[in-house]
Chains A and B, each alone.
Chain A
Amino acid sequence: MLRATVVDHTLANHAAEDEPKGTGDELVQLLTPHGERVSNRLFDPWIADVSPEQLLGLYEDLVVVRRIDTEATALQRQGELGLWPPLLGQEAAQVGSARSLRSDDFVFSSYRENAVAYCRGVELVDLVRVWRGTASSGWNPYDVGMATPAVIIGAQTLHATGYAIGCAKDGVDSVAVAYFGDGATSQGDTNEAMVFAASFHAPVIFFCQNNQWAISEPVTLQSGLPLAARAPGFGIPSLRVDGNDVLAVMAAMRCALDRARTGGGPTFIEAVTYRMGPHTTSDDPSRYADPAEREKWAAKDPIARMEAYLEGLGLLTDEAKASVASTADDIARRFRAGCLSLQDPAPLTVFDNVYSTPHSGLERQKSQYAAYLAGFEGGA
């Protein structure tokens, strides 16, 4: 019934006749910015089984990923990382979606999805190998069900679609998820991915974090419509969800996952959020972003609302809060120590992993460079 409702109605533009109107801003929202639980007949059932322990687990995730992010920004400022793309403000969109996945699902992400990676089980030190410049890859995708990030905007949406086509061929109910941002919706690859996903009825979820900015360009430059409104044109049902509401994101994601697992095909989710920090540590938002707008979004903070909600339920005591903060600090310490322990790679590894079997031209260059290095005092 619920599934049929989502299939039949593109929630981007309108709510079903019998659907509660919620806050009236077209967003699926289960927690207000003040942490009040809003009932939603369509989406409540999708999180009805979430236990108090799991609610506290989500809260801890939100706090921890923000702490990791803050630590990474500090590491960059201290010269220990070349670059870092902060996710500040997008914690709920990433945690709520990633914690809905099974281990056999597969994520194809962009570069800001460090909370998704954390939830998939990526080791802390593996989050920074690439940003420290010591490796071409952070982790083995097959260990965690998540590809290493794509930096070319939108390219990974096609990879997710192809992977999903493969899942369908294999007759399994695993799902592929493409994470991308508002800017990526302008890319040809993203649009082609939606064409292929619709044509092959692929079990893929297009999870768009609309953080309102593509570096300095506002989302209005990418689209005159809500981003979710585009998907129905491809034959893909879509919905907009409050991206700062971890429960709403989880409900939307679980609903889309269920559709995909049961042969319903692709779904497009627009998680409406806000990039509270710079695009990367090299960016300067003061040149283009309105501080008043940022303040408006600060009042919708994903962690504050979850905190208020859990306090209201009597689940989050001062002791529990302190314990979570202490856990986060401990993780941040281990994260920092792991980062600082990363050694520069050996010179000849520059030739590694270009091909899976030896390539005679490259082997020759490698042996010539080895001989050259050996000519220096002390050798290579």
Chain B
Amino acid sequence: MMPTQLTMSRAIGTGLRRALADDPKVVLLGEDIGKLGGVFRVTDGLQEEFGPDRVMDTPLAEAGILGTAVGLAFRGYRPVVEIQFDGFIYPAFDQIVAQVAKMHYRTAGAVTMPITIRVPYGGGIGAVEHHSESPEAYFTHTSGLRVVSCSNPQDAHTLIRQAIASDDPVLFFEPKRRYWMKGDVDEEFGAQTLSMEAARVVREGTDVTLVAYGPLVATALDAATAASDDGISIEVIDLRSLSPIDFGTVEASVRRTGRLVITHEAQQFGGLGAEIAASITDRCFFHLEAAPARVTGFDVPYPPAKLEEHFLPDLDRLLDAVDRVLGRVNSLTGWKA
């Protein structure tokens, strides 16, 4: 089949459609995912096509959605759960981290939890409180979960199908401000299809390694383009998988560039940036020419819409960090080369 141009929202929708068609045990659960097609229309048309037994509107209770998904998984089903917005996931926290994540361990491997938890996440859409958060680190910190985030329509489609096929539970973070980004989507899996655990070098470069995922991959690519005007060559890596992290790909890049910048929208303290900086420092300390730099959201609650541009990493903040690791200028200390 020839690739078709799809938005990321549609690319996920077609992935869900394929999963529903391929496996009768796949069921979708969530709030407003039926007739409405989800608040972001990701499940548009699926209830009409597969019926309300396969695409289930649920009562408005996130713990209830996840807890019943656990029971369905016990019964041999493969539930795909939609959490309407990132900030609504916390009522389900116990069911995710203490039940979904641990059931395989608690049953010594007898019971699998092939549950996919879809979470529209991140900011940049001018939303109100609880609608712009990036809670991925809570879940990467939890043993037993896999965590992925897509940055483009093709990966969105591939990863959602891989996530649903996985016998482990997967948190699937969808960057909501990129839902309407368009790109080619090939529905066929082939030798070129990356595994769900693999990172991808999305732009090759020689001077600095810039690690991003989800909504900030596009920002990182813009930064690389801008930097190239100044003669700086940035290698951009899209992590794709946040648990596990494909440190091998990052390490190989940093061994060549000697410089590492990590970016995410989530708050900095205890975040993925810290984990990546520590792990890469551990793996190739003597190849580093500068301390790894993090460009992240600040350690504050997600701010009101009119302040979010001061919270979210953007192209200029990325370039500032690139300058710092290159020793060109240091916006934090005022020191200039």
Q: Cβ of B108 and Cβ of A137 under 8 Å apart? A: yes
Tell me the minimal C-beta distance from A281 to chain B in angstroms: 22
Q: Cβ of A196 and Cβ of B244 under 8 Å apart? A: no
CA distance A196 to B68 in the complex (A): 8
Whether B130 sits at the interface, judged by CB under 8 Å, is no
Q: Cβ of A159 and Cβ of B244 under 8 Å apart? A: no
Q: Name which of A150-158, A296-304, A371-379 contacts chain B.
A: A150-158
Q: Cβ of A162 and Cβ of B107 under 8 Å apart? A: no
Q: Cβ of A196 and Cβ of B58 under 8 Å apart? A: yes
Q: Cβ of A162 and Cβ of B70 under 8 Å apart? A: yes
Further contacts, 18 of them, CB under 8 A, given A137-B105, A359-B168: A106-B74, A140-B107, A141-B110, A155-B95, A155-B98, A155-B99, A158-B70, A158-B95, A162-B75, A166-B71, A166-B75, A189-B63, A189-B67, A193-B67, A196-B58, A196-B68, A354-B105, A355-B168
Contacts of B168 in A (CB 8 A): 355-357, 359
Q: Cβ of A163 and Cβ of B75 under 8 Å apart? A: yes
Among residues 143 to 183 in chain A, which have CB atoms less than 8 Å away from a CB atom of chain B?
147-148, 150, 152, 155, 157-167, 169-170, 176
Q: Cβ of B77 and Cβ of A158 under 8 Å apart? A: no
Q: Which of A165, A166, A352, A360 contacts B244 (CB 8 A)?
A: A360
Whether A362 sits at the interface, judged by CB under 8 Å, is yes
Q: Cβ of A137 and Cβ of B106 under 8 Å apart? A: yes
3 shortest A-B CB distances, which residue pairs? A162-B71, A158-B67, A166-B75
Whether B14 sits at the interface, judged by CB under 8 Å, is no
CA distance A215 to B272 in the complex (A): 39
Q: Cβ of B61 and Cβ of A357 under 8 Å apart? A: no
Question: In the complex where A155-B67, A196-B68, A355-B168 touch, is A361 in contact with B59 (Cβ < 8 A)?
Answer: no
Question: In the complex where A152-B98, A195-B59 touch, is A162 in contact with B109 (Cβ < 8 A)?
Answer: no
Q: Cβ of A359 and Cβ of B71 under 8 Å apart? A: no
Question: In the complex where A354-B104, A356-B109, A356-B168 touch, is A158 in contact with B64 (Cβ < 8 A)?
Answer: yes
B residues within 8 Å of A by Cβ?
27, 53, 58-59, 61, 63-64, 66-77, 91, 94-95, 98-99, 104-112, 143-144, 146, 166-168, 197, 243-247
Q: Cβ of B244 and Cβ of A162 under 8 Å apart? A: no
Point out which of B61, B166, B245 has the most chain A C-beta atoms below 10 A from its C-beta.
B61
Whether A108 sits at the interface, judged by CB under 8 Å, is yes
Whether A192 sits at the interface, judged by CB under 8 Å, is yes
Whether A288 sits at the interface, judged by CB under 8 Å, is no
Q: Cβ of B244 and Cβ of A161 under 8 Å apart? A: no
Tell me the minimal C-beta distance from B93 to chain A in angstroms: 11
CA distance A28 to B75 in the complex (A): 33
Contacts of B63 in A (CB 8 A): 158, 188-189, 192
Q: Cβ of B70 and Cβ of A159 under 8 Å apart? A: yes
Q: Cβ of A136 and Cβ of B99 under 8 Å apart? A: no
Q: Cβ of A165 and Cβ of B68 under 8 Å apart? A: yes
Q: Which of A163, A195, A357, A360 contacts B74 (CB 8 A)?
A: A163
Q: Cβ of A192 and Cβ of B64 under 8 Å apart? A: yes
Tell me the minimal C-beta distance from B45 to chain A in angstroms: 21
Whether A54 sits at the interface, judged by CB under 8 Å, is no
Contacts of A150 in B (CB 8 A): 99
Nearest to B59 among chain A residues (CB) is A195
Q: Cβ of B71 and Cβ of A160 under 8 Å apart? A: yes
Nearest to B70 among chain A residues (CB) is A159
Question: In the complex where A155-B99, A158-B68, A162-B70 touch, is A169 in contact with B104 (Cβ < 8 A)?
Answer: no
Whether A353 sits at the interface, judged by CB under 8 Å, is yes
Whether A326 sits at the interface, judged by CB under 8 Å, is no
CA distance A62 to B226 in the complex (A): 77
Nearest to A355 among chain B residues (CB) is B168
Nearest to A166 among chain B residues (CB) is B75
A residues within 8 Å of B by Cβ?
106, 108, 135-137, 140-142, 147-148, 150, 152, 155, 157-167, 169-170, 176, 188-189, 192-193, 195-196, 199, 352-357, 359-362
Pair count A-B, CB < 8 A = 144
Q: Cβ of A170 and Cβ of B95 under 8 Å apart? A: no
Q: Cβ of B107 and Cβ of A137 under 8 Å apart? A: yes
Question: In the complex where A137-B108, A142-B110, A354-B143 touch, is A152 in contact with B72 (Cβ < 8 A)?
Answer: no
Q: Cβ of B71 and Cβ of A108 under 8 Å apart? A: yes
Q: Cβ of A163 and Cβ of B244 under 8 Å apart? A: no
CA distance A349 to B144 in the complex (A): 15
A-B contacts, 11 listed (Cβ < 8 Å): A135-B108, A136-B108, A141-B111, A152-B99, A158-B66, A163-B75, A176-B71, A192-B67, A354-B105, A357-B167, A361-B243
Q: Which of A165, A192, A353 contacts B105 (CB 8 A)?
A: A353
Tell me the minimal C-beta distance from A358 to chain B in angstroms: 9
Q: Cβ of B74 and Cβ of A147 under 8 Å apart? A: yes
Contacts of B58 in A (CB 8 A): 196
Question: In the complex where A155-B95, A195-B61 touch, is A162 in contact with B108 (Cβ < 8 A)?
Answer: no
Tell me the minimal C-beta distance from A160 to chain B in angstroms: 6
CA distance A157 to B7 in the complex (A): 39
Q: Cβ of A136 and Cβ of B72 under 8 Å apart? A: no
Contacts of A152 in B (CB 8 A): 94, 98-99
Contacts of B71 in A (CB 8 A): 108, 158-166, 176
Question: In the complex where A152-B98, A159-B99 touch, is A354 in contact with B67 (Cβ < 8 A)?
Answer: no
Contacts of A359 in B (CB 8 A): 146, 168, 243-244
Contacts of B143 in A (CB 8 A): 354, 362
Question: In the complex where A193-B64, A196-B59 touch, is A352 in contact with B109 (Cβ < 8 A)?
Answer: yes
Contacts of B75 in A (CB 8 A): 106, 162-163, 166-167, 170
Q: Cβ of A162 and Cβ of B59 under 8 Å apart? A: no
Nearest to B77 among chain A residues (CB) is A166
Tell me the minimal C-beta distance from B251 to chain A in angstroms: 12
Tell me the minimal C-beta distance from B185 to chain A in angstroms: 26
Tell me the minimal C-beta distance from A357 to chain B in angstroms: 6
Q: Which of B94, B95, B167 contacts A356 (CB 8 A)?
A: B167
Q: Cβ of A192 and Cβ of B94 under 8 Å apart? A: no
Nearest to B198 among chain A residues (CB) is A360
Q: Cβ of A161 and Cβ of B67 under 8 Å apart? A: yes
Q: Cβ of B99 and Cβ of A361 under 8 Å apart? A: no
Tell me the minimal C-beta distance from B219 to chain A in angstroms: 26
CA distance A165 to B69 in the complex (A): 10
